[in-house]
Amino acid sequence: NAGVMQNPRHLVRRRGQEARLRCSPMKGHSHVYWYRQLPEEGLKFMVYLQKENIIDESGMPKERFSAEFPKEGPSILRIQQVVRGDSAAYFCASSPGWDRGNTDTQYFGPGTRLTVL
Amino acid sequence: GQNIDQPTEMTATEGAIVQINCTYQTSGFNGLFWYQQHAGEAPTFLSYNVLDGLEEKGRFSSFLSRSKGYSYLLLKELQMKDSASYLCAAPTSGTYKYIFGTGTRLKVLA
């Protein structure tokens, strides 16, 4: 069973460009979460999605950031007009959801390290 | 408020036992998770506690006291490969939004 996949692993962008980060959840998982981790800091929740629905985006900056999880294909975190402060590791996690009577543990992908020049 | 506190750094010797503490304040309680994160890698799931007491899994054990808002991760027979950050996390009232501590960076010395 393949784990959570993220690509690219490393992404370099110049200020003002767009960054697109992709996440494919673990097989059988329908819930996707995005987190941001700055150096020497903890993981910060950004957004929680299910297929075709954004459930909670309370951790997302109001401007320039958006996320989607289409019916087909990976979840995408999109950052428009990147600034230096966006440089961070972005982790995606997936879980099967509580409706399966389990603990809904989140499993993390390897992350995308975004560097804004 | 919602908050998770854990020590920033700890050092221990190969073969020893180390206890990493975590205190939490969350709105509602839906269990407490421990993750291990090696530098530059993804957090990997270690344990989940929802009931009071000790859960043992090989060299790693995790303890929870809900009345005290306290948990610890116990690592026995430390190995060099255990050098990593250990993250304490708790879901908030929505059950999906994890609040993470900043992590405890453990250095295992030979």
Least Cα distance to B75 among B31, B34, B44 occurs for B34
pLDDT at A100 over 70: no
Q: Are A96 and A28 in contact (CB under 8 A)?
A: yes
Of B54-63, B76-85, B92-101, least confident by mean pLDDT is: B92-101
Mean pLDDT of the region A31-46: 90
Rounded-to-integer distance, Cα B94 and Cα B108, Å = 36
**Does B93 touch chain A if contact means CB atoms closer than 8 Å?**
no
**Does B100 touch chain A if contact means CB atoms closer than 8 Å?**
yes
pLDDT digits 0-9 by tens, B1-38: 678 999 999 999 999 999 999 999 877 777 899 999 99
Tokens 């370099």 sit on residue: A12
Q: Which residues pair with A93 in a beta bridge?
A: A33, A108
CB pair distance less than 8 Å for A48 and B43 = no
pLDDT digits 0-9 by tens, A48-94: 999 889 999 989 999 999 999 999 999 999 999 999 999 999 999 99
Q: State the count of interchain CB pairs (< 8 A) between A and B.
A: 57
Mean pLDDT of the region B50-76: 94
Give the residue from B5, B92, B98 with the most A CB atoms within 10 Å of its CB, the best one to mutate.
B98
CB pair distance less than 8 Å for A110 and B94 = no
Least Cα distance to A22 among A98, A79, A102 occurs for A79
